[in-house]
Chains A and B, each alone.
Chain A
Amino acid sequence: MLKLQNIDKSFEGKPVLSDVSLTVPQGATHALIGSSGSGKTTLLRITLGLIPFDRGYVKIDDQALLSFTPVQWADRIGYVPQDGGLFPHITGFRNVSLIATLRGWGTQKIAGRVEELRKLVDLDPAVLGSFPFEMSGGQQQRVAIMRAAMMDPAVMLLDEPMAALDPLIRRSLQRELKSIFQRLGKTVLLVTHDLGEAVYLAETITLLHAGRVVQSGAYRELLKHPADPFVTQFINAQRTLPDASEVA
């Protein structure tokens, strides 16, 4: 379980996050959604332990972030950066195994774990021998998920996993991603600006606006019982295509 409680954060006296709380139950997938400038990237960096925060706490399974060293914390959160964020100079395999190598894992153990994950994300073995620039967007995404899952973290954190992908590929990859999440059985926090993606992949959603949580819950609730006019506004704005009635 991932729990963020009453987080405050300001940069040079300007509040960026105010009293943000969010809980992702064990094994659940939760989406943090908001437009750019909403504070979601700051919240993501706080959750990863990359920047300090002014108040509140971040906990995984009731253990607070501040009681861990950065290295220990990193092993508890598997991070999938935007567009995969693979290191361009090393092969897919080296990307996946880098952290385990630095932690002193043996070759056998690494090979076993990589193979296990490769099957789980259903990746062609040849891809692991190639460099990121030789992979398709979907392959990069899968390698990035393998890398995030390598150390068997309690929580997976994905930042705009589909942002750079072609809409058609996106749709098919979303389906795969959903089944990968199910197979992994991890607690997942997904950060996105795309409501469609959030609704498709996550059971619950937290909508962030101007550094505050506007509403948290299932999509149906947000739709039927908006806590604030902004919720409806946000949902409507994401319906980019006009209805048949609107087309003359």
Chain B
Amino acid sequence: MKSAVLAGCFAAMLSLGAAGAVAADAIVVGSKAFTEGYVLGEIAAQTIESATTVPVKRKLGMGSTGILFEALKSGAIDVYSDYTGTLTEAILKRPDLKSIGAIQQALLAMDLVMSGPLGFDDTYALAVKESFAEQHHLNSISDLAGAEALVRAAFSYEFMDRKDGFQGMAASYHLHFAPQNVNRMEHSLTYQAIDDGAVDLIDLYSTDAKIEKSHLRVLKDDRGYFPVYQAVWVARKAFTEKHPREWQALLNLQGSISGQAMIDMNAQADIQHLSFAKIAAQRLGAEAPRSQSLKSNILQRTREHLWLVGIALLFSVLVGIPLGLVAVRFHAAGQAILIFSALIQTVPSLALLCFLIPLFGVGMKPALAALCMYSLLPVVLNTFTGVRTVDPKHVENARAFGLTGRQILLRIVLPLASPTVLAGIKTATIVSIGTATLAALVGAGGYGAPIVSGLSLNDVPTILTGAIPAALMALIAYGIFEILGIVLIPAGLRKQS
């Protein structure tokens, strides 16, 4: 009866998840997880939709340039927007490539096709508050020299780590910031930080809508350090060959989006909080596609999230419990298993996702792999601990009564260890529900999608449409485990505790 209850739970989760599976021959549009990425992604999606009958699938708001590029190469997405500077610096590692033609050539060698420029540049820029600029007479980046000690900076991770970012800029301008004056932060939060006066200097993009809103002064790149970042489409060659009409529709947008147009669209999203779909439709002079209702949107996210957590849970039970038992039985292997599963836990989730992309591509697979690995430790460790703390006299007595090894395990040891094992599964589930929100960064959807896009827009209501259901799911899971505890933990043990 107990196993039937469990099987039923899993079956329900699996069937919910399966309903969320993707149609195989859809065209998939990806995007980076910042406002401009979403806007351009939506423009691409609607442009293709107007030119085709093939269903278009949006995987907007994926983690980073690296993740998107892997997604493109593995065929998980067909097209996304990027910038020439990013492609040469971060992807091709060929800063010497300057012309569009040369970059196109280099990408073609990787079976990728790049369009011509869409019409605007979006390069890195540094900005300070107008008032701060007035006070310290700052107009260009050169003016920062000598004033470094007065400046508290907050830079995005990408800006800090890229060769053409902070390091190169500081060297080129001979700027020497004390490390304690330079904070690494999530990009969307740096605006909040400078608005609140917590920092004085941030990096941003030259088409950023918040420049005017936050009364920022962009410091002139007077030495011309930052490379040119011209927006382009990047697509899989196979996609351009299979769908030439759709690709041509995207190419028709070349040279059509000015810098000011992009700033305006970013402002519509960031400041007026219009939906990306609506902004793109206005731009394309079309009717906005009927946006998903909040209810059906949350339902779809719930299916995706349940699928992720359900599979991870199934894995942690089917693999974690046997591994925990092996760890009890064989000391050396046991230590290795425990240390390995603990080590996985120390890898930051975004880093783990990045490691897994070369192996699994993007989308559900790497997200599932990461969740499975994370959910392993609590189950392995609790199985190990639970079984180890079973009083050995019960095992010896059972042997004296003539129970076989298998009977001792199933009738005596596992039931006695069940409260601890179940607590481990419960921990794994609740941690998975939280961690699964990161799956959105590799395009696996779930409650993380609104959280990621809300974060990039600094839009709290959008964040909450992901965060509240995730919290509710965790609460419901907690409740389900309380009930499972009553069903699965032998009554003789429950009453004792």
Contact = CB atoms under 8 A, between A and B. Distances in A.
Contact of A133 (B396, B398, B496): B496
Contacts of B401: 74, 79, 98-99, 147
B492 interface: yes
Contacts of B491: 89, 131
A70 B401 CA distance: 9
A74 B402 contact: yes
A102 to B, nearest CB: 6
Contact of A90 (B396, B400, B407, B490): B490
B493 interface: yes
B399 interface: yes
B415 A89 contact: yes
B2 interface: no
A87 B399 CA distance: 13
A85 B411 contact: no
A110 interface: no
Interface in B400-415: 400-404, 407, 411-412, 415
Contacts of B400: 48-50, 74, 77, 79, 81
A75 interface: yes
B397 interface: yes
Contacts of A134: 495
Nearest to B411: A98
B327 interface: no
Contacts of A98: 401, 411
Given A70-B402, A98-B411, A88 B396 contact: no
Interface string B59-76: 000000000000000000
Interface of B is mostly: helix
B393 interface: yes
A87 B393 contact: no
B393 A85 contact: yes
B402 A73 contact: yes
B495 A131 contact: yes
Interface in B449-497: 490-493, 495-496
B416 interface: yes
B496 A87 contact: no
Nearest to B418: A89
Interface in A36-79: 48-50, 70-75, 77, 79
A90 B397 CA distance: 15
A86 B307 CA distance: 42
Contact of B402 (A71, A87, A133): A71
B245 interface: no
A91 interface: yes
A75 B490 contact: no
B402 to A, nearest CB: 3
Contacts of B394: 85, 87-88
Interface centre among B394, B397, B411, B496, by most chain A C-beta atoms within 10 angstroms, is: B397
A89 B401 CA distance: 17
Contacts of B404: 71
A98 B496 CA distance: 21
Contact of A50 (B396, B407, B490, B495): B396
**Chain A, interface size: which category?**
20 to 34
B394 to A, nearest CB: 6
A89 B490 contact: yes
A79 B394 CA distance: 13
A102 B397 contact: no
Interface string A81-117: 1100101111100000011001000000000000000
A79 B397 CA distance: 8
A56 to B, nearest CB: 20
Contacts, number: 65
A155 B81 CA distance: 83
A81 B393 contact: yes
A138 interface: no
Interface centre among A50, A82, A89 (most CB of B within 10 A): A89
Contacts of B396: 50
A77 B399 CA distance: 12
Contacts of A34: none
Contact of B403 (A48, A72, A85, A102): A102
Nearest to B489: A89
Nearest to A48: B400
Contacts of B402: 70-75, 99
Contacts of A70: 399, 402
A90 B496 CA distance: 12
A161 interface: no
Contacts of A131: 491-492, 495-496
B154 to A, nearest CB: 57
Given A70-B402, A90-B490, A131-B491, A85 B496 contact: no
A119 to B, nearest CB: 23
Task: Name, among B400, B407, B416, B491, the residue most crowded by chain A CB atoms within 10 Å (CB to CB).
Answer: B400
Given A74-B400, A74-B401, A89 B492 contact: yes
Interface string A112-150: 000000000000000000011110000000000001000
Nearest to A132: B492
A234 B389 CA distance: 37
A81 B394 CA distance: 10
Interface in B369-405: 393-394, 396-404
A119 B233 CA distance: 87
Nearest to A44: B400
Contacts of A79: 397, 400-401
B186 to A, nearest CB: 49
A79 B403 CA distance: 13
Contacts of B415: 89-90
Given A88-B492, A88-B493, A102 B416 contact: no
A102 B398 CA distance: 12
Nearest to A81: B397
Interface string A148-162: 000000000000000
5 contacts: A75-B402, A88-B416, A89-B490, A90-B492, A99-B402
Q: Which 9 A-B residue pairings sit nearest by Cβ, starting from the closest?
A: A74-B402, A89-B490, A131-B492, A71-B402, A89-B492, A48-B400, A79-B400, A85-B397, A89-B415
Given A87-B492, A147-B401, 20 more contacts: A70-B399, A81-B400, A85-B393, A85-B394, A87-B398, A87-B412, A88-B496, A89-B415, A89-B416, A89-B490, A89-B491, A91-B492, A98-B411, A102-B403, A131-B491, A131-B492, A131-B496, A132-B492, A133-B492, A133-B496
